[in-house]
Chains A and B, each alone.
Chain A
Amino acid sequence: MLKYLLLAVLCIAQTHSLYEDQVGKFDWKQSYVGKLKFSHIDSRANIKRIYVASEDNAVASLSLGSGTLLWRQVLEKGPQGAIVYFHYGANSLVTVSFNGLIRVWNPNDGSLLAGWTLPLNIRHVKFMVDGGNFYAIEVSSAIKTVLVHTYKLASGSLNDVVKKIPATWLTESTYCETNQNVLACLVQGSVKILFPSSGGQTQILEQSVPSATFLTPVSSAIGLPSFKAGNVVITVNNKNIETSQIECNSVHVDKTEDTNKVLAICVRPLSKSNIEVDIFISQQKISSNNLQLKTQIAQSDINVQSCFCKGSSPSCFCILSSQDHTTLFISTQGKVVWIREEALTSIISAEFLDLPVSDVDAAIEKEFDNQECGYFEMFTRRLMSQFYQIQTLLSIESPAFKSSALVRDKFGLHKLILSVTSVGKVFAMDNLSGKILWTLYLANVTPYSVTGKQFAPVFVQRSTRYVPYPAQVSILFKQSTSKEGVLFTLDPITGQLIHGDQGQKLGYQVELSTLLPGVNKNHLRGILLLDSNNQIHLEPPSSPVPKPYFIYKVHPQFGVLTGYFVQEDLKLQKVWELNFGQPVVHVASKNPVEKVHSQGRVLYDRSVLYKYLNPNLIAVATHTPDNVFSIHLVDVVSGNLVESIIHKRTMGPFHMVHSENWLVYVYFNEKTRRNEVSTVEMFEGKTQSNSTAFSSLSKSLFKPILDKQSYILPVSQVDAIKETITEKGITSKHILIALGTGSILEMPWMFLDPRRPAQVTPDMREEGQVVLEYTPELPILSEAIINYNQTLYGIKNIHTAPSGLESTCFVFAHGLDLFYTRVAPSKTFDILKEDFDYALICLVLGALIVGTVVSKKLASRKTLKQAWK
């Protein structure tokens, strides 16, 4: 046992691990909380902080000055953990989750002070916290009473008898809200204000608001619980009602220090990067400021989360949250203090893009641009470009240096991460620093949904390699209203939209889209779009379509797969159809940029087992209600079912990776109550029937050799899996597994190999290859956790991309945290080590040279002496 463990440790040590001094050198992590739901600014404490609760079930504390995260606790995943009530007061934070859990947090470090369950159905209950008591208010229109349950906040023990406030005015349509210690109900054109926490006879205030159709609580200073009913802002000030009419969607109510007058702050967006902040005192606009933002936000609505004001001529600081999940901290004086891009928690697509070459290199490339010119001209060009190079070397003010920040480096390690979020916001980030280079807000769009996951296709139509032409990327969304497709085409380096703000409206519903392999004369790759009438559209229309071209469609609900042949006139001819009759949970095709270097696998007797590298092979996973999980390997050109593999008594979540000639999938085995990883590797055999070309049609009779193996993955949950990818495919592959506990595990393919022998014989070892004996349980080694102690919450997906170095692969994981790093599955064999000692090697070389010279002298002297003897 120990022997195998030792072997495993050795293998890991060979493959990958980080040194402690490399922390943060190749990686960065950014922590987010998600779209703000509740917030509170603690301005009175010595350390000014902001406490927030988000749509992503996170409770956190931010520093007021910089917006950095001080602590964060993430509650239960999914709707069960949704935070429905949030309160800050008296050195405690209170949250109520949808599952009925009331938790009291220590605001200083985020540890739990108390936690208890509310014994009520949470759906019809409003909450309020007042003086160490927790009130759950049931508004029951059936018995025409408001029931107030009082609990001790610290323990959850029922504090008092249930207080019953008779309310004969309650109807089915009555809508109630709480703010601070006040309950407000909107009843047929009037707002009733109750004070459930006050003892004795309950006083009910009433304000008629004839035109109001909705009632929302408004952010307000302590002691000024306010609501907005229609256009009227109702403020309860010391058991008196004050109303003010402000034409503004989002307001904050506060009071001025000296005059004690009610003050309202109103924020409205003017454009995508411009907002207006107005201050009203007694409905009089006293100041108006225009704020220029460094990001793009949704123009539709902006919500004032909370504010704090000071001074007699009031100057306030406010937290705003916009529809596109951006959190802003501004001062009403017209300054943006900080911006948090919380939309980054909802990334649905990400792409690594090349940066343009530097101006100097571009000049050199221009030199070789057109070959038709004569020798003399070429010579002068050469001279010119060299002169230019010298010039740029000498003068720092040269224009070449100004744009040097965003240029490609020698090893292709500097790239741009383009991420598209489900709210329609697009980000470009620098992969080395994680800095946001530009943002773009695409209005009125929603992402597509594919097997339960949100998805917006991103097409890299042209990289930066074709110098006179700029790089071009297209993003496909659907319009929120008409469900028709919209194509946004942009230059990824600058973030400029090519077809304007509204994008290119396609005028049809897109069913399927793909990037074509060929380029047109402008080096632009075309996009093929399939509408709901099976009509092919090309974008740009003149794009070349390869021949013969086949298209397959997967109907996920019914499990029907249909294959089409694209005819000369771009009409589809249905050629094959499979019907699994089971819902499809996952479809895994190979990464189109993947390259496979080795066409076979060397066995220990030095013969070759050729890989079955079918570019048209996909893996379709279906799951039946009786918990049978099936993997179907389908050749999408011939429509052949290469193999079907079934796993009985299994449950999701399923994750699958399909690469080269193998398949890895993870599932939960219900019978043995553990997560299992199965791997399938496909081989053509010891000979290759056609070593130059692969044709699915002529290979339809052929059945590959399948090797299958299963391993126990001793973890409780897997959130995502992905394979590493490198430029030429020479480097060995690793599987990145995002665990539910927030780590990303790098698992060498060697461990998952289905051909791990049951017993390693000595002649297997002799060949110098590392052969691992089969062990059913995979080792989880802490050295293989690429994010070390930086826990990542709720990883949704991992993206990998090749770098310019063959050894190195980029990894970008996103969820509530963003994490970027680079991994070298076969170690960095093509670059000197980070800790390479240049001084030592120079020293040694110098010493050797000196030694040779000296010893030569000595030797000649000795021979002379010898001759004299």
Chain B
Amino acid sequence: MTANKQSNAKRMKWAVDFTNRNRTDLPSPPGYCPSNNSVQSDVTNQTDSNLLIKKCWEVALAPIKQVPMNIVIMYMAGNSISIFPIMMVGMLIVRPFKALFTLSSSFKMIEGHNVLGQKCIYLIGNIVNIILALYKCQSMGLLPSHSSDWLSFVLPQTRIEYSAGGVLFS
């Protein structure tokens, strides 16, 4: 706390030093024209929407682009169950799910634009990734898809008839 205060005080000292200077008196850097600013914005406004859509497509295509990469990673990880392959597979599964849940926030920047197509592609890409991850799980034997996976939940049979006996004593 005290340290904080000290640093605060220091900063204050600093700030005082800074504000003492008159900023408005400073000349503009060479090549900078404050009046030019609005003109430039007009020029960019035309390409802005195109850029935005391009960015949008970039975001939408990202999952699809990941697919070959993921395939390679999966191939490299192998089917043996050990800590690194499991971690990789876990990442593969969790990432697309996360992406799906944050779908709306990913496309937030382009409000008002019709981004349904992009969203669809994004969705499909992530689903492909999930399917891929599930396939990996399946081939690693992590999915409880066989009867053997439920074997330990099978309870022992209760006996209906009771029996006892043995060799006669002599």
A and B form one complex: yes
Bound together, the chains give a CA A600 to CA B160 distance in angstroms of 20
B131-170 with Cβ < 8 A to chain A: 141, 146-149, 151-152, 154-170
Instruction: Check A766 for interface membership: any CB of B closer than 8 A.
Output: yes
Kindly provide the distance from the CB of A229 to the nearest chain B CB, expressed in whole angstroms.
39
Contacts known (A448-B169, A555-B168, A599-B156); A550 close to B151, Cβ less than 8 A = no
Instruction: Check A697 for interface membership: any CB of B closer than 8 A.
Output: yes
Kindly provide the distance from the CB of A445 to the nearest chain B CB, expressed in whole angstroms.
13
Q: Give the contacting residue for B166; candidates A587, A600, A616, A766; CB below 8 A.
A: A587
Give the residues in chain A near B168, CB-CB below 8 Å. 450, 511-512, 553-556
Instruction: Check B81 for interface membership: any CB of A closer than 8 A.
Output: yes
Instruction: Check A328 for interface membership: any CB of B closer than 8 A.
Output: no
Instruction: Check B106 for interface membership: any CB of A closer than 8 A.
Output: no
A528 touching B164 by the CB < 8 A rule? Answer: yes
**Of A109-117, A669-677, A686-694, which binds chain B?**
A686-694
B163 touching A607 by the CB < 8 A rule? Answer: no
Bound together, the chains give a CA A607 to CA B147 distance in angstroms of 6
Bound together, the chains give a CA A636 to CA B163 distance in angstroms of 7
Bound together, the chains give a CA A478 to CA B168 distance in angstroms of 14
Give the residues in chain B near A556, CB-CB below 8 Å. 167-168
B163 touching A637 by the CB < 8 A rule? Answer: yes
Bound together, the chains give a CA A636 to CA B159 distance in angstroms of 13
Bound together, the chains give a CA A548 to CA B166 distance in angstroms of 18
Instruction: Check B118 for interface membership: any CB of A closer than 8 A.
Output: no
Contacts known (A595-B156, A599-B154, A692-B155); A449 close to B148, Cβ less than 8 A = no
Instruction: Check B79 for interface membership: any CB of A closer than 8 A.
Output: yes
Bound together, the chains give a CA A512 to CA B166 distance in angstroms of 7
Kindly provide the distance from the CB of B10 to the nearest chain A CB, expressed in whole angstroms.
12
Instruction: Check A136 for interface membership: any CB of B closer than 8 A.
Output: no
Instruction: Check A768 for interface membership: any CB of B closer than 8 A.
Output: yes
Nearest CB in chain A to that of B147: its residue? A608
Nearest CB in chain B to that of A551: its residue? B165
Bound together, the chains give a CA A600 to CA B148 distance in angstroms of 8
B146 touching A600 by the CB < 8 A rule? Answer: no
Give the residues in chain A near B158, CB-CB below 8 Å. 692-694
Bound together, the chains give a CA A766 to CA B141 distance in angstroms of 11
Bound together, the chains give a CA A766 to CA B157 distance in angstroms of 31
Give the residues in chain A near B165, CB-CB below 8 Å. 512, 514, 550-554, 563, 636
Instruction: Check A721 for interface membership: any CB of B closer than 8 A.
Output: no
Give the residues in chain B near A550, CB-CB below 8 Å. 161-165
Instruction: Check A451 for interface membership: any CB of B closer than 8 A.
Output: yes
Q: Tally B residues with Cβ within 8 Å of A.
A: 27
A511 touching B169 by the CB < 8 A rule? Answer: yes
Contacts known (A606-B148, A608-B147); A693 close to B159, Cβ less than 8 A = yes
Give the residues in chain B near A694, CB-CB below 8 Å. 157-160
Kindly provide the distance from the CB of A63 to the nearest chain B CB, expressed in whole angstroms.
42
B146 touching A607 by the CB < 8 A rule? Answer: yes
Nearest CB in chain A to that of B153: its residue? A599
Chain A window 548-571, contacts with chain B (Cβ cutoff 8 Å), 1 for yes, 0 for no: 111111111000000100000000
Bound together, the chains give a CA A448 to CA B169 distance in angstroms of 6
Nearest CB in chain B to that of A598: its residue? B151
Give the residues in chain B near A616, CB-CB below 8 Å. 159, 161, 163
Bound together, the chains give a CA A600 to CA B156 distance in angstroms of 10
Give the residues in chain B near A554, CB-CB below 8 Å. 165-168
Give the residues in chain B near A269, CB-CB below 8 Å. none
Bound together, the chains give a CA A858 to CA B158 distance in angstroms of 64
Instruction: Check A89 for interface membership: any CB of B closer than 8 A.
Output: no
A587 touching B167 by the CB < 8 A rule? Answer: yes
Bound together, the chains give a CA A606 to CA B142 distance in angstroms of 12
Chain A window 501-515, contacts with chain B (Cβ cutoff 8 Å), 1 for yes, 0 for no: 000000000111110
Q: Give the contacting residue for B162; candidates A517, A597, A600, A603; CB below 8 A.
A: A517
Nearest CB in chain A to that of B154: its residue? A599
A591-614 with Cβ < 8 A to chain B: 595-600, 602-603, 606-608, 613
Give the residues in chain B near A602, CB-CB below 8 Å. 148, 151
Instruction: Check A119 for interface membership: any CB of B closer than 8 A.
Output: no
Chain A window 530-562, contacts with chain B (Cβ cutoff 8 Å), 1 for yes, 0 for no: 000000000000000011111111111000000
B167 touching A692 by the CB < 8 A rule? Answer: no
Bound together, the chains give a CA A451 to CA B167 distance in angstroms of 7
Nearest CB in chain B to that of A476: its residue? B169
Give the residues in chain B near A767, CB-CB below 8 Å. 141
Instruction: Check A685 for interface membership: any CB of B closer than 8 A.
Output: no
Bound together, the chains give a CA A597 to CA B155 distance in angstroms of 8
Contacts known (A512-B165, A587-B166); A768 close to B81, Cβ less than 8 A = yes
Q: Give the contacting residue for A691; candidates B141, B154, B161; CB below 8 A.
A: B154
Give the residues in chain B near A584, CB-CB below 8 Å. 167
A613 touching B167 by the CB < 8 A rule? Answer: no
Instruction: Check A589 for interface membership: any CB of B closer than 8 A.
Output: yes
Give the residues in chain A near B80, CB-CB below 8 Å. 768
B21-79 with Cβ < 8 A to chain A: 79
A471-490 with Cβ < 8 A to chain B: 478
Contacts known (A448-B170, A512-B166, A554-B167); A608 close to B160, Cβ less than 8 A = no
Kindly provide the distance from the CB of A842 to the nearest chain B CB, expressed in whole angstroms.
24
Chain A window 149-172, contacts with chain B (Cβ cutoff 8 Å), 1 for yes, 0 for no: 000000000000000000000000
Give the residues in chain A near B159, CB-CB below 8 Å. 615-616, 693-695
Chain B window 78-91, contacts with chain A (Cβ cutoff 8 Å), 1 for yes, 0 for no: 01110000000000
Instruction: Check A696 for interface membership: any CB of B closer than 8 A.
Output: yes
Give the residues in chain A near B170, CB-CB below 8 Å. 448-450
Nearest CB in chain A to that of B81: its residue? A768
B164 touching A514 by the CB < 8 A rule? Answer: yes
Kindly provide the distance from the CB of B112 to the nearest chain A CB, expressed in whole angstroms.
38
Chain A window 642-665, contacts with chain B (Cβ cutoff 8 Å), 1 for yes, 0 for no: 000000000000000000000000
Nearest CB in chain B to that of A517: its residue? B162
Interface, chain A (partner B; CB < 8 A): 448-451, 455, 478, 510-514, 516-517, 528, 546-556, 563, 584, 587, 589, 595-600, 602-603, 606-608, 613, 615-616, 636-637, 688, 690-697, 766-768
Other contacts beyond A448-B170, A551-B165, A693-B157: 8, CB < 8 A: A449-B169, A450-B166, A513-B169, A514-B165, A600-B154, A607-B148, A697-B160, A767-B141
- 24 CB contacts below 8 A, A to B, read A450-B166, A450-B167, A513-B169, A514-B165, A546-B162, A550-B161, A551-B165, A553-B165, A553-B168, A555-B168, A556-B167, A587-B166, A595-B156, A598-B152, A599-B156, A600-B154, A615-B159, A615-B163, A616-B163, A636-B163, A637-B161, A691-B154, A697-B160, A768-B81
